[in-house]
Amino acid sequence: MARRGQMVVVSGPSGAGKSTICKRLLLDPRIVFSVSATTRKQRVGEVDGRDYHFLTIEEFRKKVEAGEFIEWAEVFGNLYGTLRKPMQATLDSGKTCLLEIDVQGALQLKAIGEPGIYVFIAPPDFEELRKRLVARNTETPEALERRLHKAEDEYQERVKYDHVVVNDDLDRAVARVKQILGLDEPART
Ligand code: 5GP
């Protein structure tokens, strides 16, 4: 019988440092990133198939109809979804499958009873979050406000997660997530 790895869902408001934490977690060979599909435009530096599978809206819709997504949601006007197959393959290999998805997607997975560890990354405070988003400088002022509103809404949902990790210190936050996953001991080779 196939070994069953664990699924870990990491969500949190944009700017809370979720991506940085995930990048650090992925340095551990026992953890595999679940590459989502999206209809949003590819950003400079992003690689198709590594960061996301970039799809047209039509391609995405077809996959929705074919039941290829275990969850999907619209985020900031674009569609994002987790493909069942690669996620299953990771779990079957006994590895930890890391899903970096938004709150809507995470709650869909909870609602269908998908076994896993649900971790919410929280910013130390919202002023700090605003500063981080401004410093990132990837948004127009309107988009920035939208992200902050969404961040506040998402923050209210943190109680539905198994764990809330406050990202006041990157090393500490990464260590805490690894501890939650039972991966705080280094990988044995
Ligand atoms: P970005 O466009 O900045 O890469 O991601 C925007 C938001 O979409 C982030 O909150 C990210 O976690 C979320 N996201 C990425 N992939 C998925 C997915 O497969 N499903 C859902 N529901 N959200 C996703």
pLDDT tens per residue across all 189 residues of the chain? 456 999 999 999 888 889 999 999 999 999 999 999 999 999 999 999 999 999 999 999 999 999 999 999 999 899 999 999 999 999 999 999 999 999 999 999 999 999 999 999 999 888 888 888 888 877 788 888 888 888 889 999 999 999 999 999 999 999 999 999 999 987 766
In a domain, 126, yes or no: yes
Q: 150 with 157: CB under 8 angstroms? A: no
In a domain, 187, yes or no: no
In a domain, 26, yes or no: yes
CATH of the domain at 11: 3.40.50.300
For residue 72, report the distance from its CA to the centre of ligand 1, in Å: 9
Ligand 1 close to Cβ of residue 82 (< 6 A): yes
In a domain, 102, yes or no: yes
Rg (CA), the chain: 16
Ligand 1 close to Cβ of residue 73 (< 6 A): yes
In a domain, 116, yes or no: yes
Token pair in block for residue 7? 């699924």
Ligand 1 close to Cβ of residue 75 (< 6 A): yes
In a domain, 189, yes or no: no
In a domain, 2, yes or no: no
Residue in 46, 52, 100, 119 to alter for ligand 1 test, most ligand atoms within 8 A of Cβ: 100
In a domain, 186, yes or no: no
Measured between alpha carbons, how far is 86 from 181 in angstroms, rounded to an integer? 20
- Could you give the number of structural domains in the chain? 1
Ligand 1 close to Cβ of residue 102 (< 6 A): yes
Q: Provide the residue range defining the domain that includes 13.
A: 7-181
- Residue listed under structure tokens 């997607």: 105
Ligand 1 close to Cβ of residue 40 (< 6 A): yes
Amino acid type, 88? Q
Say which residues have a Cβ less than 8 Å from residue 46's Cβ, sequence separation at least 6.
52
Residues for the chain: how many in total?
Answer: 189
Please report the atom of ligand 1 found closest to the CA of residue 13: 10
